[in-house]
Structure 1
Amino acid sequence: MHQNADEFAYMLRAQRAAYGGTYELVHHQLRDLGISASMIDIAAAADSWRPLLQPNTKVIYVEAISNPLMEVPDLPAVAAFAKQHGLTSVIDATFATPINLQPALDPGFDVVIHSATKFLNGHSDLIAGVVASSAEIVSQIKSKANHLGGSLDPHAAFLLHRGVKTLALRVERQNANAALLAEALEKHPQVAAVFYPGLPSAPRYELVRELFINGGAGGMLAFEPYGGMHAAEAVLKHLKLGMVAPSLGGVETLATRPSSTTHVGLTREQRQAIGIGEGLIRVAVGIENGQDLVDDFMQALDAAAAAAAAAPTNKVE
């Protein structure tokens, strides 16, 4: 989208907590291209973002549901701020899916992106991405993709077409399972915090109910057990139905510690600064029987607590 070298001073705006790969892209790879970036706190009022604008600021980027803390920005406010200041607004709606936030262009964003590898495909067997925007912007992106790569191979396209056919059914089940699991985790005595936008205790819960269709708050959640990293590792070790892996959006339930996987590229201090504790567990909820999932996580928490009680000399962070 840049025409000459002197235009490579564009600013990219990004929310404070985002996917680790996005964080590294924004703060490292894009800087090699002369594109600098600043982070904004999506929990703050839009007025507080204005002083951070530079004459060459061009883009504001947000995740519809942030990874891994499941924060939902005031999406209409972000889109309105972008329009007011002549910025291109980009939203990553991967966690929300087009089923829950449909269409994502409604809040007023210029560009909607999805990691099609995840929910759109739903079977954890391909790598793909989707960009939805105006014909003008899509034309520019197609031109760049044609020259720089990134084209989907025929078999992957076939698999993605297969996956999209069951998207609505899968997401409906994942919504229900995630809500059930989040509610159970919130009540468990070994859990310090639960991050799920569909909980009444979540920030902007009323906004989520307003923006997301039929109350569907997605199939992603996170929680922190008491005891930090060692407790989290013990919980993961004792899972039987849920698998320990960093991906998401498939039919199976996956759990991981972001500090050792998705956000391992950040320093511990950087993770702490954006609210990602060493004991945080992110869960990508699948389509299994919901009560079976709840039972599995409850027994894993109980087993981890019992193991800790039996070994009092273990360090607890």
Structure 2
Amino acid sequence: MSTNKLGKQTNALHFGYDKDKQQTVSVPIYQTTAYAFDTSLQASNRFSLQELGNIYSRLTNPTCDVLEKRISVLEGGTASVVTASGSAALFYAVTNIAGSGDNVLVANKIYGGSTSLLFHTLKCFGIEAREFDIDDLSTLESKIDSKTKAIFFETLSNPQIAVADIEAIAAIAKKHKIISIADNTVASSYLCNPIAHGVDVVTHSLSKYASGQGSVLAGSITEREGLNELIKDNPRYAHFNEPDESYHGLVYTSLPLPNYTLRIRIALLRDIGASLSPFNAWLVLQGLETLAIRIKKHSKNALKIAKFLETHPKVESVSYPALESNKYYALSQKYFYKGRASGLVSFVYKGSLEEARKVVDSTSIFSIVVNIGDTKSLIVHPASTTHSQLSEAELKKVGILPNLIRLSVGIENIKDLKEDLKEALGE
């Protein structure tokens, strides 16, 4: 049966693994560094890409291959590469197309670690990050020039819980023949498919909702079908159209393979090596099998918690797109499956920074953890943790207030979660 006739939950369980060959129902962990070649000619052919196959686990691995295929089908893409972390995925996604003297346009509301990577670390590589307002795209085009290589945003931002107008951003990128990159970590591939709305590349921290266990680090990069046409003969991406001296003079656009992820695999993974281990790939595969069930429960619990907080006298404001009062409600209904908005809820406490931290310290079921997407409920004070590397001006600009508290709502009994927050808030 064709995969396009199967539901996401079915593909998450079965796609990409041929059990007729290995005779095992579960995907095995291929814990190996390298692979034996039948002949020296076969080895030579694989290194020259005349024959596709495993060479070394820094580049490819059978367990990772199954995960890559499942991520691709869940995202509606044509090819994926998995990495050692979500940060590695973002680094590769950008440096695959941008170098010294280039710039990327970056949404103002994104994860603090991504802000640090894009605005500070990549600056050391000569790559400039230019900020644009996710809530006002009117000035976005004015920031584009001949050296602009990508437009990056999060479909559902962390921790501001802002929803991007995916189609509007993708349309601007398409107009200027620029690659659009959307991080889909918080929404997950079950609730949102950016590629279906015109995005070129999707990144994930698979450590979060995709795995759901809080026990693995992993990331992924997925490209849409037809991205080769955007890259071919595009002066913005000349290095894809010119011989790569480090790979036998290979011209990526001359190959009938997905060019974008191919270059990440055979150039960046080869040279930098932030590859995903087979064991971690296997852990993510276990998580994907229950993603559809978990994300529904996360979303259901989060909406109930958001409604509870919205009426609480000690809460100034609540950020959760599935609330009808939220300014992103219409966008969440447009882009997210059944309007579900995943498990992140942020709220501003009526009090000082110290008082907000006291609320965080007073919970018992909610654990003080900087991760998100765990089955267990988590709480954190972003200004002093996940975004502490930002200056006071940067915090204000991205909407991280000193009394903002972020919740990653788990799948526990909702009554228990409400009682925990009631006690912490002093009710």
Q: Does 1:62 align with 2:153?
A: yes
Distance 1:72 1:299 in 2: 31
Alignment partner, residue 219 of structure 1 = 343
Distance 1:207 1:119 in 2: 21
Distance 2:278 2:97 in 1: 34
Distance 2:168 2:349 in 1: 33
- Runs of 4+ with >6 A deviation: 1-5
What is the CA distance between 1:111 and its match in structure 2? 0.3
Distance 1:56 1:209 in 2: 35
SS in 2 for 1:236: helix
What is the CA distance between 1:2 and its match in structure 2? 7.0
Alignment partner, residue 228 of structure 2 = none
Q: TM-score normalised to the size of structure 2?
A: 0.68
1:1-80 correspondence to structure 2 within 5 Å? 8-44=100-136, 46-80=137-171
Could you report, residue by residue, the CA deviation over 1:52-96 in whole angstroms, capped at 9, with x for unpaired residues? 222211100000111111000111100001101111100000000
Question: How many residue pairs get matched?
Answer: 300
Alignment partner, residue 178 of structure 1 = 302
Q: TM-score normalised to the size of structure 1?
A: 0.91
**Identical-residue share of aligned pairs (%):** 33
Report if aligned partners of 1:197, 1:217 keep a CA contact under 8 Å in 2: yes
Report if aligned partners of 2:108, 2:397 keep a CA contact under 8 Å in 1: no
Distance 2:350 2:160 in 1: 17
What is the CA distance between 1:4 and its match in structure 2? 11
Aligned alpha-carbon RMSD (Å): 1.7
What is the CA distance between 1:246 and its match in structure 2? 0.8
What is the CA distance between 1:31 and its match in structure 2? 1.0
Q: Does 1:142 align with 2:265?
A: yes
Q: Does 1:117 align with 2:207?
A: yes
Distance 2:287 2:331 in 1: 30
Q: Does 1:128 align with 2:226?
A: no
Distance 1:288 1:2 in 2: 40
SS in 1 for 2:358: helix
Structure 1 residues 203, 148: closer, same or farther in 2, change over 3 A? same
SS in 2 for 1:281: strand
Could you report, residue by residue, the CA deviation over 1:263-282 in whole angstroms, capped at 9, with x for unpaired residues? 01101222012211111101
Alignment partner, residue 325 of structure 2 = 201
- Name structure 1 gaps, 5 residues minimum: 304-317
Report if aligned partners of 1:19, 1:66 keep a CA contact under 8 Å in 2: yes
Report if aligned partners of 2:96, 2:263 keep a CA contact under 8 Å in 1: no
Distance 1:267 1:48 in 2: 24
